Structures are given as C-alpha cells and as structure tokens.
Amino acid sequence: MTKVISLYDYPKSSAFYRVRIALNLKGLTYQKVNVYLLKKDQTSDFYMSTNPQCLVPSLSVGDQIITQSMAIIE
C-alpha cells in the first residue's frame, strides 16, 4: 500500500522551495497543500493539528508528520 505524501507549504517560503527541490530530485510524488501565511492559515485548527508550531513547511506521510525543512530533506 502506497502512503499519501502531503507537503504543507507557503509558496513564497524559501524553506519550502528547498524541500520541493529535494522531493523532486528524489522522484517522490506528493500533493501540495497551500498554507497562506498572510491569511493566517497557519493558526487554523486544521493546520495547528498538523503542526502545532504553526510553521511551514510540514510533510505528512501516512500518520507521520515531519515539521522541520532539514529533517524533511533528509
């Protein structure tokens, strides 16, 4: 069974840009979920349940969530 990979991001985030490059270089398919910081999406109940730090990017693989860009890249 293939696990769904979701990348929660803000398109103007440089950390997101690095993560996206790494995922593409690794050939991983992922779905992008936009978190608009200017609209305060990071403080929504939905996103806070994903990442209580309210930061982007976050990567969800099945029921595991990774919230630091360098950890995601690794």
Q: Do 59 and 33 form a contact (C-beta atoms < 8 A)?
A: no
What are the tens digits of pLDDT across the range 16-57?
Answer: 899 999 999 999 999 999 998 888 888 888 888 888 888 889
The dihedral built from the CA positions of residue 63, 67, 71 and 74, taken in this order, carries a sign that is positive
pTM of the predicted structure, to 2 decimals: 0.83
- What pLDDT does residue 20 have? 92
Q: Answer whether residue 71 shows pLDDT above 70.
A: yes
Domains of the chain: 5-73 (3.40.30.10)
Q: Answer whether residue 2 shows pLDDT above 80.
A: no
Query: What's the burial of 68, exposed, middle or buried (CB within 10 Å: 0-12/13-18/19+)?
Result: middle
pLDDT bin (cut points 50, 70, 90) of residue 1 is: low
Tokens standing for residue 28 = 């991983």
